[in-house]
Amino acid sequence: MKVIVIALLSSMIIMGCSEPNQQQSESLAEDTMKLNLETPAPQAKKVPHPLTAHGITRTDNYYWMRDDERKNSEVLAHLEKENAYLENVLAPLADTRESLYEELVSRVPKDDSTVPVLDNGYWYYTQYSGDNEYPIFIRKPTLDAEDETLLDVNELAKGHDYFSVGTVAVSRNNAILAYSEDTVSRRLYTIKLRNIDTGEYYSDTISETSGGIVWANDNTHFFYVKKDPQTLLGYQVYRHKIGTTQADDVLVYEEDDDTFYTYLGKSKDDDVIYVFHSNTDMTGTTLIDANAPTKPTRIFLPIEHGVEYDIAKSGDSYFVLTNKDAQNFKVMRAPASATDDVSQWEEVVAHNPDVFIQDMEVVGDFLVLKEKENGEQRLVAHNLNTNVVKTIPMEDPIFGVYFTGNTQTNTDTLRIYYSSLTTPPSTLDINLVTLDTKVMKQNKVSEDFDASQYRSERVMIPARDGKKVPVSLVYKKSTFAKDGTNPLYQYAYGSYGSTVEPTFSTSWVSLLDRGFVVAIAHVRGGQMLGRAWYEDGKMHAKTNTFTDFIDVSKGLVAMNYADGDNVFAMGGSAGGLLIGAIVNMAPELYKGVSAHVPFVDVVTTMSDASIPLTTGEYTEWGNPANKDEFDYMLSYSPYDQVKAQAYPNMLVTTGLHDSQVQYFEPMKWVAKLRELKTDDNLLLFQTDMEAGHGGASGRFKRYESKALEYAFVLYLAGKLEKKMN
């Protein structure tokens, strides 16, 4: 569930239609004759399964599809039938899918590498080459020295249908490599160790971890988080000593509140290891002395309901970004010797109710803040010596920016990852004294890509309650006319406070070049307009996320940015919940929707603490043990609200080994839709039998699912012709 995903949609009812557009249905029926529709769609058997809570009994006819072991032959057979049905129906689009795939991967450089980052005397980077699907991790003592290969993931991945490296971590004496791998896609990682000089593996093998690895400074111990193999909740922090077995590892922290996630970090000066405790509306941190890893831990600040904070160590103090008495956050400074005594803290940047502080980075003599005001982003540098405050200039009016690779404490150079809807991802180094900027790398799109041919805009669209929803738009100038003739592809997420920034997507170029307008709806549930924007889109206000999305679709049609007969929506994970809700609430608006790994069986999932991620998200969706929260979730849960009505054309995808949203949620949803929907529109369901929540693990292979979706969308929009001028 908790994974940032895309949700897109569009709208077509602005002309006063309250019923499905009859002209659209007839046109679609004529068009779909080109596909193979003779084979009947798979029909799942019904086995009534009563679920009773708070005096309400729900009958789930498809509960039988749940198989935690993923070995039930009947379940697997039905998934294979759905896969075969999709391939049969879309057989006439096979060439289209292949050409789209080739087009998409042509924008992925065959030979590519990241910008080197200095850490503990070595420069580290990753490199891709040729047709290799996976990276090679490399280091060297100086930039002009020869490469030293630490890990070739292509070699490790041989013989595996899925392979993912979680963390690569080198001991502080630069002699031992530790890395974590997942070969199933359940995000249960195994840690392995290797001598860098000899290449020999240690006997140490640590299983069922979250993948994170943090070394102590004695080169003998490292820390990791152990996961519960059923719930996949990381809840125990262990200290491992090189040369011993996992059974000998020392438990240093155990989380007894299953609404918290646990993960690790380390201070930039390498002195302190952090154990982070994260709930959706409160956080905490436990400190471990990296120079004395066997000493007792200590609490940075006692956890307080509703209070969140993030920390950055700087010398003998910590900068603290917190919402304590500051809804949109403020920055405090706490002495390292008394972090738990708030009376000794001092204010560095005061709370401003109009400015949301998203993130902070301490670089040399500067505190740099990532801020938003009215949804517009900026980076602000505070000189800690002179108290001079400067806004760092950016090239685009709307953009996304992230701190990256800032490993040094004695520099005035800030490194950022920068992108906009028209500017490909770039790594920039900024001199915080002069504000001079150096482009260290800009991702290449293709030989013929010209950013000046595209335009982005930010518009504000009124929601039904009067709130204005920010929308970021991008289109190709030569194919766009503000006359209501362009097809629309609308995208959002809208959960966990995750802010979807207006950044570049190489895949979207394939839509833009065929005349689409792509829109990101910054709906409530995210934090584009600050913390209140998130609070107004969660728990008992969750439906604002869905109605915002619908109202944006209507608004874009009304403003002639989009053709009301060619509106498409796509979303995944929690964004898939958004898609599931809007097709129940306003199916007439969309010609087609794509729902990827969708979280759609809200009440049943949140009622079962054995399902991964459930307990950690009670404060996002609600706890069904409480009747008011049960009733509210039931009112919008996509699976529970499926009814006898016409639905748009739908493409649903999942992964058998999904660790976030279990495969049986979309499987059940599709079965129920097939049973109740009254239309003849497409309902296609694909399960990747080897992958999980993030899809295929290879850098090229993952575009197969994108090519499938785009073939589906372009076919329905009548845009299968090659790119337009």
Query: Which active-site residues does the annotation give?
Result: 573, 658, 693
Q: Are 189 and 182 in contact (CB under 8 A)?
A: yes
The DSSP output letter for 235 is E
Q: Which residue has the tokens 């041989």?
A: 158
The DSSP output letter for 430 is E
Distance CA 231, CA 184 (A): 16
SS3 16: coil
Single out the residue of 523, 526, 532 nearest to residue 499, CA to CA: 526
Distance CA 326, CA 603 (A): 33
Distance CA 369, CA 713 (A): 40
AA letter at 123 = W
**Helical (H) or strand (E) element with 136:** strand 136-140
Tokens matching residue 507:
């895949």
State the DSSP string of 354-409: T-EEEEEEEETTEEEEEEEETTEEEEEEEETTT--EEEEP-SSSS-EEEE-----S
Q: Which residues contact 341 (CB under 8 A, 6 or more apart)?
A: none
**Helical (H) or strand (E) element with 264:** strand 261-266
Distance CA 102, CA 105 (A): 5
SS3 77: helix
Residue 218's Cβ-side half-sphere holds a number of Cα atoms within 13 Å equal to 15
**Alpha helices by DSSP H, 90-195:** 94-105, 153-156
**Alpha helices by DSSP H, 597-663:** 602-606, 618-621, 627-636
Q: Are 219 and 172 in contact (CB under 8 A)?
A: yes
Distance CA 99, CA 97 (A): 6
Single out the residue of 638, 516, 644 nearest to residue 573, CA to CA: 638
Q: Are 621 and 543 in contact (CB under 8 A)?
A: no
Report the Cα 133 to chain-centroid distance in Å: 21
Residue 4 backbone phi and psi in degrees, to 5: -65, 125
**What dihedral do alpha carbons 94, 96, 99, 100 form, nearest 10°?**
-110
Strands in 566-715 per DSSP E = 567-572, 592-596, 649-655, 683-688
Tokens matching residue 420:
């906009």
SS3 letters across 280-317: CCEEEEEEEECCCCCCCCEECCCCCCCCCEEEEEECCE
C-alpha distances in angstroms, 181 versus 143, 150, 161, 163, 397? 28, 15, 13, 7, 40
State the DSSP string of 654-670: EETT-SSS-THHHHHHH
Q: Which residue has the tokens 């593996």?
A: 201
**Would strands 426-431 and 437-442 be described as parallel, antiparallel, or unpaired?**
antiparallel
C-alpha distances in angstroms, 171 versus 44, 190, 196, 554, 650? 53, 18, 10, 55, 49
Distance CA 149, CA 172 (A): 18
